[in-house]
Structure 1
């Protein structure tokens, strides 16, 4: 079968005020009808620029300066703008990473989904609405006729992503490009979206280009893979062959950076040193050579092109041995971090947080039950992982622990003092012992302040030392997080995501706390940068005796970082136990469903569906009675209408029908 889409030596430039970024350099790709091509690589590798070049949606001033983009043998680069708009609206569709920014906040959902039909096919308003409702139904949207009259802000993240997919598919395109379609979603919603794309690909006989940095997504969903680095394709082959025996050293390094690639006995993840190159500067030789542990002088001076054959690679020193297959159930060594028998540094007891509901026209709405009776301890030197879907209340628990929110009821005891009973001055002093590491470090920093002021601010607020002592402390913090002291006069926008997260970690360490609450600290990072930050956090924990409450929806990261894990669902803890036991011998059906939803970086491993979650997360304004998971649980019976207690020894579960009993 001839390719539906072919890229031949495509080069793309993006002009800047002080130079030109050569975003793509002689890229060659192809995808056939009914096939899924995965494009993987770090941020800045050219993945998204490839998709935008195909769609003709490059940033202002950007242009394809060389090569051909052939869609059914028509060169898209030679078409007039009107014809390209028709192809982009009818024959090709694109799903963007952030659905909220892709939707018009002032238009109802039905009108937005119907818009391509009205513009490109001249369909009348009534017929377009009916077809929009039908495509919303086909993408699995509950009550599509009601959703059609809603606005984007009224929908959950997963529902908004379904709307964007419906918009891309409403004209029955031949090619769908999905650019990081699940990056911001939790694992259960991610699995639903990926399965939806698979089903629709078969139904519409579409070709799919799946752009992602998640190797697990690629392994389970793509037929073939292209690995990109610094604007070039460095390896291309079938998915099974790539994961069986990666050839390029960059691909090998990405796989070694995955959390599952290290043991839990203190073994560090492999982290790729340095950063991708500046694409506005001339380069010679292999572009990965400055970061490659196997590079030779020949690599630095020889421009390596893709080899011929089914498994193409551009590496002078390729991997020769097949990749060892990961054994997820293999026993691992216990971590030595927590001090067994010690007094907990943090004790949370019967914690409750309710918010007043948002009513309209002065009407009082039901309260939002964000946290409903949560309790756990954290020992000195221990990492307690808190995991669950978006909306489960885990971030609210974190904000309550650090005093950014006041609890409705319950206790939060840090070093023997209940935060809820402290006055404002005492609570401010408590911040010396408890700090928060934010998910988005850039948003948490004042963009008008330089790094030296950002790091000095908590020291000044707490009146810690004189100016000389603060300056010395700031230098020590930069040394601890692995940043040079010359960055002190730079602003937040001048840093990469990984560097910003290091600065955020340095700020949380400024007052020498004993406990740090880490709220999704690596969820927005590439796998290679994620490995650097996780290694750094574990090293600092051992060096400084820190305790962490590590909040995340990524079970593989939580498993790697944590000594114990608490699983939250709709404001309640449903399972708590040692990390190894929770991940490898889950007792609650919800925990098992989360585990099964995590994409495996092993092609050919069929996704498990022993516990399939049904429907959307219920509203926290009207949570189900009894077990809050019962409305989505395949094992639920009448007794589940009464609330099960969190019971057991070291491994506790709140379920009337646990999957496993205590040993």
Structure 2
């Protein structure tokens, strides 16, 4: 939708540098953007493209060494670069608001929620303490916070991820700003919470008549929420258009490559992967910055600095896309059934409970029911996807299977051995057969160890081979995950996110396991890097005969990777079946709600409001009796107070009112 009127914010030739000891990074180069009152501008691109640096330049929150070196930042006709400091602080403090990617690090852990939400009022408007608290409660209520009069006295660590994000939004909105900047506001959230937060921003935009800049690497988020889109690459705007026009007929080859890398666009069982890496912005660049990675690039592209041209739909490409791109609603396909074989993993009636007091404190506070009677199997060479909201127990299941935690009850049989009954030393030996691939590979590595030591460590701990054999195995691992030998001498902080995930995969392969538990392995990656890692995991599965337990909240990714899918809710499996059936013909209302919450890269897609999950996930300390989903289910009746049984043959569901064909996804 084209919003009439003069732009509220206009960037003209914005250029930003970051001075480092090794040189100067030219983070932004001649960026032109604008956003009008009541409009949402989406900014999308890979990590390092300049998305976040653009909004930090607007807000004056650049990192040390950062400075705007050229251009104008016009807000309501006033250039922020020429303002005096007091006036600039007032504009940023009152007329602009920003929602950061990680709400936990954006909040002061030592301050109560109410004090943090009200702080802008007290600093910029001199509001008294009592009035500030009252207005904090009101804005928390308007952003959908349950029990806001109680929440104001809590600390950030006492809230869920979705609730913390609502607090950060409340902080940004309490001054009724004219411009709201949301920088990756839903990256770390599951799909249901993500949908609630994005709908909240939409509603508040209409209520406050704000302009919104939405920064994300998720094309689905952009398609469903933005009026116009700017695609950035290597510090420049590569393409800009209305959302409908951009997704219907992208012109820049980089935009096309991003769309083809989506799991929904997988062709012949493989994701398109953009080759190479973005350029080093500390070095002089000539020609089109995407040319080294573009399959259509010519010598002219490598030598010609292509300007952004076009009226309404502008792009900087000498060989633009000429055919419209069609993105399927879902690209997964029915897979051949696994040959009859003994399962590599058999989980039966798995239970995990924690003392609510933690480490023996607050005895009698109760028990947290993290996993409650879960059963499933994984056959050799098969991938089981486990999906669900944050707090559903899927990561706990992964840690139990990997032997990192001891179950409260049940059996975990790996290759014929029940690891649930093993002592610590025996479970340690089972790590040769089962390995865990972490979500955050950097956090899982010792930052003081080089890659050579990181990959050799599991071989040394398990006493596999001599020094020469270990060196040979490490070299073999690098070849398998596509990293050069020189990577061995570098430290984790010297790698990109995708390279770190390759190192994490290599480490999990070091002992030649038969089963890998992959816990959200691509959730923090750009769509292009995600495609590379997923393709690599599937290639190695075929080459080595690996089995995966693939844990994720992204159903489009799980649909691409998995043979079968298990859907978890509050510690229980509510649906299990072949991936293509679970995704295209879900039988449980919760599964349907998860599917409808997945952001679609189709701007015309409108999820049904009837399938929106209401409210927060109930506490695992006191879960609902019977069906645990009944407190949030639109189909719930009195009979749901009795627990349903997971049944149904190949496609099982635990529901008293399983979905009929006419209500299922197509």
- Give the TM-score normalised by the residue count of structure 2: 0.97
Offset from partner CA, 1:109-142 (integer Å, 9 cap, x none): 1111111111111111111111111000000001
Q: Distance in 1 between matches of 2:433 and 2:298?
A: 48
Contact conserved, 1:40 with 1:212, CA < 8 A, in 2? yes
Aligned residue number for residue 639 of structure 1: 639
Q: Which residue of 1 aligns with 2:460?
A: 460
Q: Aligned partners of 1:465, 1:212: CA distance in 2, in Å?
A: 46
CA contact under 8 A between 2:387 and 2:394: conserved in structure 1?
yes
Structure 1: give runs of 5+ residues left out of the alignment: none
C-alpha distance in 1, partners of 2:626/2:244? 45
Cα distance per residue 1:199-238 (max 9 Å; x no partner): 0000000000000000000000000000000000000000
Counterpart contact for 2:263–2:560, Cα < 8 Å: yes
Following superposition, the deviation at residue 408 of structure 1 comes to 0.3
Q: How many residues align?
A: 658
Equivalent positions of 1:524-563 (< 5 A) are 524-563=524-563
Deviations 1:390-440 (A, max 9, x none): 000000000000110000000000111100122333322211111100001
CA offset at residue 358 of structure 1?
Answer: 1.8
- Matched residue SS, 1:610: helix
Counterpart for residue 316 of structure 2:
314
SS in 1 for 2:530: helix
Give the deviation of 1:361 after TM superposition: 7.3
CA distance in 2, matches of 1:362, 1:51: 45
Q: Is 1:502 aligned to residue 502 of structure 2? A: yes
| Aligned: 1:26 with 2:30 | yes
Once the two structures are TM-superposed, the CA of residue 606 in structure 1 deviates from its matched residue by: 1.2
Q: 1:340 and 1:638 mapped to 2: Cα distance?
A: 42
Q: Give the structure 1 partner of residue 103 of structure 2.
A: 99
Using the TM superposition, give the Cα deviation of residue 334 of structure 1 relative to its aligned residue in structure 2, in angstroms.
Answer: 3.4
| Conserved 8 A contact 2:439-2:523 | yes
Quote the offset at 1:547 in angstroms.
0.3
Aligned residue for 1:348? 347
Alpha-carbon shift at residue 267 of structure 1 (Å): 1.8
Kindly report which structure 2 residues correspond to 1:585-604, keeping only aligned pairs within 5 A, or say none.
Answer: 585-604=585-604
Q: Is the 8 A contact 1:593 1:609 kept in 2?
A: no
3-state SS of 2:89 partner: helix
Q: Does 1:217 align with 2:221?
A: yes
Instruction: Report the Cα distance in structure 2 between the residues aligned to 1:327 and 1:606, rounded to whole angstroms.
Output: 12
Matching residue of 1:357? 356
Query: Is 2:445–2:454's contact at 8 Å kept on the other side of the alignment?
Result: yes
Does residue 1:84 correspond to 2:88, yes or no? yes
- Kept after mapping to 2: 8 A contact 1:110/1:148: yes
Task: Output the CA distance in 2 between the equivalents of 1:139 and 1:88.
Answer: 21
C-alpha distance in 2 between matches for 1:459 and 1:92: 53
Distance 2:423 2:78 in 1: 71
The whole-number CA distance in structure 2 between the counterparts of 1:363 and 1:433 is: 37
Q: How does 1:54-453 map to 2 (within 5 A)?
A: 54-263=58-267, 267-328=269-330, 333-336=333-336, 339-358=338-357, 362-453=362-453
What's the secondary structure of 1:368's corresponding residue?
strand
Distance in 1 (CA, whole Å) between partners of 2:327 and 2:499 is: 32
SS in 2 for 1:283: coil
Partners of 1:446 and 1:307 lie apart in 2 by 47
CA distance in 1, matches of 2:660, 2:277: 45
Deviations 1:452-479 (A, max 9, x none): 1110111111111111111111000000
Deviation at 1:600, TM superposition (A): 0.5
The answer to whether the 8 Å contact 1:406/1:420 transfers is yes
Counterparts of 1:364 and 1:413 in 2: how far apart (Å)?
33
Q: Is the Cα contact below 8 Å between 1:25 and 1:232 reproduced in 2?
A: yes
359-368 or 648-657: which moved more?
A: 359-368
Counterpart Cα distance in 1 of 2:189 and 2:475: 37
Report the 3-state secondary structure (helix = DSSP H, G, I; strand = E; otherwise coil) of the residue aligned with 2:498. helix
Deviation at residue 563 of structure 1 after TM alignment: 0.3
CA RMSD of aligned residues (A): 1.4
Q: Deviations over 1:181-208 (max 9, x none)?
A: 0000000000000000000000000000
Q: Check the 8 A contact 2:386/2:568 in 1, yes or no.
A: yes
CA contact (8 A) 1:12 1:25 kept: yes
**How much has 1:333 moved relative to structure 2?**
4.4
Higher deviation after alignment, 376-385 or 317-326? 317-326
Deviation string for 1:487-507 (max 9, x for gaps)? 111111110000000000000
Match of 2:613 in 1: 613
Q: Alignment partner of 2:603: what SS?
A: coil
SS in 2 for 1:25: strand
Give yes or no for contact 2:264–2:329 (8 Å, CA) kept in 1: no
| Cα distance in structure 2, aligned partners of 1:643 and 1:348 | 20
Structure 1 residues 545 and 362: CA distance shift in structure 2, 3 A: closer
2:306/2:316 contact within 8 Å kept: yes
Q: Distance in 1 between matches of 2:215 and 2:143?
A: 20
CA contact (8 A) 1:596 1:609 kept: no
